[in-house]
Each structure stands twice: as C-alpha cells, then as structure tokens.
Structure 1
Amino acid sequence: MKTTYIRLSLAATLLLGIYSCKKGEVASSDMEAYANSDTVAVASDSISSVATMKVKDRQFIKTADVNMEVKDVYETTISIEKSVQELGGFVTQSNLQSNVVSEDTYNTSDENAVLVKKYQTENRMQLRVPTEKLGELLTKINDKKLFLNSRLINAEDITSSIKYAQLENKRIEKNSKNISELKPDKDKVDLYNQNMSEGNLQQLANMDVTDNLKYSTVDIYIKEPKIRVAEIAITNTDSIDDQYKFDFLYSAKSAFVEGYYLIQKIVVGLITVWPIVLIGAAIFYFARKRKPAKKQPNAEA
C-alpha cells in the first residue's frame, strides 16, 4: 500500500509554498475537474462498492491489495498485464520467480540422467490503472482466482486536505506579495529564492496528488496452490567421474617422479645445512680427542 507516500504528498501540499498563483490554480483546477467528472464506473456484484464509489464534491485516492491462488502464475500474469494495458493502465513492477522445494538427480544409464525439481511459482505485481476502471480491473483479476486469500480496497477521502491546501496557497501568495514590497537587500533575495523553491515543490506535490487521484495503485500477489515438478534431461556425471577417477600407470609414473624430486630436495637440504654439519663434526672430533684413555687392567691382579 502507498498510504505513507500519499500522506507525505499531502503534507507537502499543505506546508510548502507556490511559485505563482497561476501554477497553484492550475494544479487545483485539475483535481477539481477530475473530482467533478461524470465518468461512470463499471459495477460488479463480485467487487466491493469501494472500488466504484463516487460521491459528489468528494475526492478519493483509491488503492487495492489482492492476495490469491491461481492455476498458472505465468499465464495469469500475462492475462493481467494485457487487461491493464487495455484499460489504459500500466505495470510498474512484476517479480515472477520459482521457489525450488527440492532437487534430486536420478541416473537412467551410463550416459544419461534426469534432474527432478519440485518448485512453486509466485509473482508480486504492482499496477496503476485509471481510477474509474478500478472496479473493472478487479473483476477481471477475480475471474482468474482459484482461491482468494485476501483483498483490501481502500478509498481515502482527501477532500478536506485539498481545501485546506488551497487556503494555505492563498496565505503563501499573500506572503509572496509582502516579500515583493520589501526593500531590496540580501534578506529579500534569500526570501525570494526560498519562496521560488517552495513553489516548485508545491507544484510537484500537486502533480503527485493529481496523479494518485487519476490512477489507482493495485498490489497483487499470486501463487500456485500445488508444487510443480520439472524433469530435465542431463548427463550422468557419476560415470564420467568413475571413468577418470584413477589411472594406475599415470599414478605410478607421477609417484616415481615425485620420489625423484624428493631425493633432490633432501640432497639440497643437506647442502644447505653444511655449516651445521661441519661444526658438529669438529666438536665431535675434539671431544673424542680429549677423552682420557682407559686404564689397562693390572696383569698381576
């Protein structure tokens, strides 16, 4: 739902200034003209009267949120998008995806296998449709359902907010005239620039409100009630792994080469530590040389 966005737009309409009186009147006249239009909405027994409601001298921003289960998400998505286009609307978001529940591989021969995927498809959509066509669109969407989980239709009355904004526009216009009567100085330039910036923002806020009055926003979530199964033909990778898993001749040759390299590494290692070997040999030699000779046993004894 876009309630927060709408309220922010209304707040900007109430608080911000206008660039000129003419601009503010044009934006207001657009909203007034739309509110007083004689367009007749298509009513249906299956759709709430909120979607087709029109009250004299009242202005409503309408939104809808639908959550339902369908037979085929992809076909339903295409049908909804086509219906929106025929009614003069447009799709702002469509996020179709398949959620994989499980994935298994079964070998059918030495060369072939089958990948079995179990999945469930869903789609989240957001549509903009002319407000007078909202009821007709919801009727078309309702025809595609298997089971309706929820449906929310909201009509927000913004009549008093728009009237209050018009009063604020007049007050700001008067302030603009007062600024023009001030003596030229730096403060006047700053006030003028600030008022011009607020006027641009005011115009943008009026355009947003007018757009939300003319076009209703519809959020749709659709999914399939049952899990689908996809069978995909693939190559048996296990047999290929077994085929190249071990080669005796190649392994023996590699082992012989590795042994040869190991001997080289040992010899090189001994050469690297030759100073230590030399010092150890010298110590052993002198230690043995200084060792006293053992006394000979007495022959007489």
Structure 2
Amino acid sequence: MKTTHIRLTIATALLLGVYSCKKGEATASDYENLEANKEIVADSISSVATMSVKDKQFIKTANVNMEVKDVYNATISIEKSVQELGGFVTHSDLQSRVISEETYNTSDEDAMLVKKYQTENSMLVRVPTEKLGKFLTLINDKKLFLNSRIINAEDVTSSIKYAELEGKRIKKNEENISQLKANKDKVTLDNENMSDGNLQQLANMDVSDNLKYSTVDIYIQEPKLRIAEIAVTNSKNIDNKYKFNFFYSAKNAFVEGYYLIQRLIVGLIMIWPIVLIAAIAFYFYRKNKSNNKQQTKEQNTAS
C-alpha cells in the first residue's frame, strides 16, 4: 500500500513538471479549445436539443419529469431562466396535494391541525429553439432525481417544401379564376381559393412559430412529504360547551308549551260548528235514551 502511494506521488510530480514546462508555450487557441470542450460537455446533456443538420429544419419539443428540493423555488428559478433566454411561460399549475390531515387538541381552547402534503407543479414553457439545450442544462441543475426526459426533433423540411408548393398552386388558381367571366360560379371558386389561402397562411405561421420557439413540458415534485402545523381552535370543546344549556332549554320548553295551548284553543275555536252539532246530537241522544228508559219503567209498573 505504501509503495503504491509513493508511485502515485512520483507520477503526480512528473505531470506537474510537464505542465510547468508547457505552460509558457500555451497559446490563446489552446484556451479557446478548452472553453469549446467545456461547452461540448455541457451541451452533451441534450445533444438532440442542440442538433443541427444542413438543409434540414426541425421542430423541437421536450418533456422533463424530475424531483426537486423545493418546488416553489425551482418554479421561480425556471420562470426566471425562461425570461432571461427570451422565452415565456404559457402554463404553470403549482399546487399542494394533501395526503392526510389530523386535528390534535392541545388544551380546552387550542388545537393543532397537522397536514401532510406534497407540492408539485406542471409547467409549459416556450424557449428560443437555439437556446433549448442551454435551458435544459439550466433546469437539470435544479434536480434531485430525474424521472424522465424526452426530447423530440421532428423533421419538417418536406412539409415546408410542400407548403411552398401549395402556396404556388393557390396563387396560380387565383390567376386562373381572375380570368373567368364574372358569375356565381366564379364567386364560389374565388371564396374557396381564398379560404384555402388563409388556411395555408395559418399553417405556415404555426410552423414558423414552432421552428422559432421550442415547447418544453415540465413536471416537478418534491420527493418527500411536507408537514404543516396550523394553530386552530379546539372546536370539540366549544361544541361541548354550547351543546346543551338546561335553563335556556327549560325556558324555551315553557314558552313552547304556552304557545301549544294557544294553538289548541284556536283550533277548537275554528271547529266550533262541528262541536255545536256534536253537542246537539249528544243532547237528543241522551234525551231519547231517557225517554226510552221512562217508557220501559212505566210498562213494568203497569204489568
């Protein structure tokens, strides 16, 4: 082990000696090559994003899914990087997904609400295509763990060439239609050709915009749950405190009983015709029954 250490020390000394000898011979081009190598190493993280082929045009998109230490700080940093590179954010949905929450009573008046949650954000940004590789390198520095990264470079060279041919065809149609005799059919043909021209211009604008700006779909989340402790009122004790009051309930019961008697009396007053008829019927019933008893008694006496 000691022999190996001595050999490494000697080798290091020799290398330092060679570097000292060559240091005076270094030129500006050497330093430029060194910086170029550093850029190549940095860009190698997203070679597809920086790809450039002669006579080819690519629409580039990227999808990044990663875990970060702090989602909010990472979001602010990403948005700042996008602006500095000349891009813009089209969508940002930062939210805290609550996993569980429990309330623990700490005294008769106080309690503690404990929430376990995980913060995440879905972002959609547009950055200049020539700076896509640099942007991906910047956001890569924010990661704790990279779940996935997808970079697409769609070759649209033939589509652009076809769009140019379609533009020529539409223009030729316009010239041919202009030579026709004015009638209803000419108006129809002119409208259809103009509509085709508008659609073609819109498609050209979309392609031009997508060539100039690359779309990056970013999803970031924190790897572990966060815990929030929020001081709240002991609601259970408050409920028990006001759940039942004997004197108040007894007073209300007495008042409600008084009102019930009033409602019964009013109800009887409302049905006085029925009571009167029933009283008259009962009177005649008793009178008839008394007469029958009297007759029966007289018959028994006569016998």
TM-score range, shorter chain: 0.7 to 0.9
Partner in structure 1 of residue 268 of structure 2:
270
Partner in structure 1 of residue 55 of structure 2:
57
| CA offsets 1:168-189 (integer angstroms, 9 cap, x no match) | 2222211111101001223223
**Which residue of 72, 75, 85 maps to 1:74?**
72
Partner in structure 1 of residue 191 of structure 2:
193
| CA offsets 1:204-259 (integer angstroms, 9 cap, x no match) | 22111100001000001111111110011122233333333333322222111111
Is the counterpart of residue 170 in structure 1 residue 168 in structure 2? Answer: yes
SS in 1 for 2:53: coil
SS in 2 for 1:51: coil
SS in 1 for 2:139: helix
Partner in structure 2 of residue 293 of structure 1:
293
Does structure 1 conserve the Cα–Cα contact (< 8 Å) formed by 2:43 and 2:50? Answer: no
Which of 43-52 and 226-235 deviates more?
A: 43-52
Does structure 2 conserve the Cα–Cα contact (< 8 Å) formed by 1:73 and 1:224? Answer: yes
SS in 2 for 1:246: coil
SS in 1 for 2:293: coil
Which amino acid letter does the alignment assign opposite residue 101 of structure 1? I
Deviation at 1:195, TM superposition (A): 2.5
**Could you say what the CA RMSD is over the residues aligned between the two structures, in angstroms?**
2.1
SS in 1 for 2:48: helix
Which of 69-78 and 162-171 deviates more?
A: 162-171
- Rounded Cα–Cα distance in structure 2 between residues aligned with 1:282 and 1:113: 71
Partner in structure 2 of residue 12 of structure 1:
none
**Which residue of 224, 229, 253 maps to 1:231?**
229
Is the counterpart of residue 148 in structure 1 residue 154 in structure 2? Answer: no
Which amino acid letter does the alignment assign opposite residue 191 of structure 2? N
| CA offsets 1:268-288 (integer angstroms, 9 cap, x no match) | 111111222222222222333
Alignment of 1:113-152 (within 5 A): 113-152=111-150
Which amino acid letter does the alignment assign opposite residue 293 of structure 2? A
Which amino acid letter does the alignment assign opposite residue 293 of structure 1? K
SS in 1 for 2:56: coil
Identity of aligned residues (%): 74
Q: 1:94 to 1:185 in 2, by over 3 A?
A: same
Alignment of 1:2-17 (within 5 A): none
* Stretches of structure 2 lacking an aligned partner (at least 5 in a row): 1-38
SS in 1 for 2:114: strand
SS in 2 for 1:290: helix
Q: 1:175 to 1:65 in 2, by over 3 A?
A: same
| CA offsets 1:33-56 (integer angstroms, 9 cap, x no match) | xxxxxxxxx653652321111111
Alignment of 1:25-36 (within 5 A): none
* Stretches of structure 1 lacking an aligned partner (at least 5 in a row): 1-41
SS in 2 for 1:172: helix
Which amino acid letter does the alignment assign opposite residue 122 of structure 2? R
Which amino acid letter does the alignment assign opposite residue 285 of structure 2? A
- Rounded Cα–Cα distance in structure 2 between residues aligned with 1:60 and 1:77: 28
Structure showing greater Rg: 2
Q: Which has the higher contact order (CA 8 A, sep 6+)?
A: 1
**Which residue of 48, 56, 65 maps to 2:46?**
48
| CA offsets 1:181-204 (integer angstroms, 9 cap, x no match) | 001223223322333333233222
- Rounded Cα–Cα distance in structure 2 between residues aligned with 1:201 and 1:172: 11
Does structure 1 conserve the Cα–Cα contact (< 8 Å) formed by 2:104 and 2:113? Answer: yes
SS in 1 for 2:45: coil
Partner in structure 1 of residue 101 of structure 2:
103
- Rounded Cα–Cα distance in structure 2 between residues aligned with 1:162 and 1:247: 82
TM-score, normalization by structure 1:
0.80
Partner in structure 2 of residue 203 of structure 1:
201
Q: Which has the higher helix share?
A: 2
**Which residue of 242, 245, 268 maps to 1:244?**
242
| CA offsets 1:70-123 (integer angstroms, 9 cap, x no match) | 111111111111111111111100000001111111222222221111111110
Q: 1:134 to 1:285 in 2, by over 3 A?
A: same
Which amino acid letter does the alignment assign opposite residue 130 of structure 1? P
- Rounded Cα–Cα distance in structure 2 between residues aligned with 1:170 and 1:298: 134
